[in-house]
Amino acid sequence: MFRSSESNRRVGGRTAAPALPVIASRLLALAAAPSFALMTGLSAYGASGDMICSTQGSAMLSGMVPMYLLMTVFHCRPWLKLLAREGNGAHVPG
């Protein structure tokens, strides 16, 4: 997902394990898309009037739902890179 130069250090000719901040950033990057997808579903179908930015009586595609959908799409890159790496050898540039 990240370049090895960013996450690994050379120690005596061998590559050391990634540091905790690098691992945490990878996990946060992977957590973003599912979180926004969940928020999309909650906003579209389970939103109560008490939620911040909720608009009662408006169409489902106005307000928070399209924003969360776009955020989900924009945060799919780490998942696509992970699937490409583990998949059939396809390469995602970046």
Determine if the pTM surpasses 0.85. Answer: no
pLDDT at residue 31 is higher than 90: yes
Per-domain boundaries in the chain: 4-86
Asked whether the beta carbons of 28 and 63 are under 8 A apart, the reply is no
- pLDDT band at 18; cut points 50, 70, 90: confident
Asked whether the beta carbons of 9 and 33 are under 8 A apart, the reply is no
pLDDT (average), residues 65-74:
89
Phi, psi (deg, nearest 5) at residue 44: -80, -40
Structure tokens at 71: 């955020």
